[in-house]
Structure formats: C-alpha cells, structure tokens
Amino acid sequence: MASNVREIRPKPSDSEKITINLGFVDLGQVDLMVQEGFYSNRTDFIRTAIRNQLERHADVVKQSTVRKSLDLGLRHYSREDLEAVRRIGEMLHINVLGLATIAPDVTPELARATIGSVSVLGALHASPAVKSALSDRTR
C-alpha cells in the first residue's frame, strides 16, 4: 500500500548548507571538544557557537530588523498572493530575514509584474526561472 503513496509537493529544506574554512588549530580544538563529549559532532559545535553569538547580539538584530522593516522568519508568497497584488495594481517589496519562498507555480511573468524588489538575509527559495526573472531586482 505504501508504494502508491506519492508526495504532492516536496518539503522545503528547513536549513541552508554553508561551508566555512577553519585553521588547523581551531579545527583541532573543535574536534577535541567533540571527542571529550561536550558536543555530538562538529556541526553541533558550530550551530551552538552561532546561536550563542546571535543571542549575544539579539538587541542589535532586533533593532536592525525594525529599522529595515524586515519580515522575520518564514515568508511564503503564493500565486494567489501575487495575483491579488496584480489585481490592485501594486508591487511587492520583499524584505525578509530568514527564508522567503515563492511558490513553484508562480511564473516568471507574474513575478516580474508584481515584485518590485527582493532583499533576503538568509535564503530565497524560488524556481530558477523566477530567480532569473527577478535577478535585476534582487539585492
């Protein structure tokens, strides 16, 4: 019975892969902390370090978010959202700190007709065609 169950739409990833370069001594110290059982692996150490720094600077992040009028977290733009914007003759200015997604059924033409600018600190998930159509409007 499980063989005829299909995923209607793929689940978007809840994280973004990044690559960093560390000096050998720093990497050795991370490995030592993992070996001593303080962290389960390198990724756990790095995530914890990043979260600690973000917590340490939370006030600055909050002030900047307000000053720059950023939507914080996850923001999804559906085809219906963009069609509604087109009907009233306005343009969206997407400003997101986190993850902005544009639905897979949004055409490049609809995106260009309704999205005036895109500024995402984090990740933008959209079809390659929509990203290409908005490339001159993306900061």
Task: Report the candidate in 117, 112, 106 with the shortest Cα–Cα distance to residue 125.
Answer: 106
Inform me whether the pLDDT recorded for 6 exceeds 60.
no
**Which pLDDT score, from 0 to 100, does residue 55 have?**
95
What would the mean pLDDT of 53-70 be, rounded to a whole number?
Answer: 87
- The Cβ of residue 10 has, within 10 Å, a number of other Cβ atoms equal to 7
Beta bridge partners of 77: 102
Inform me whether the pLDDT recorded for 136 exceeds 70.
yes
pTM: 0.66
Which spans in the chain are helix H?
24-35, 42-56, 58-67, 79-87, 108-114, 128-133
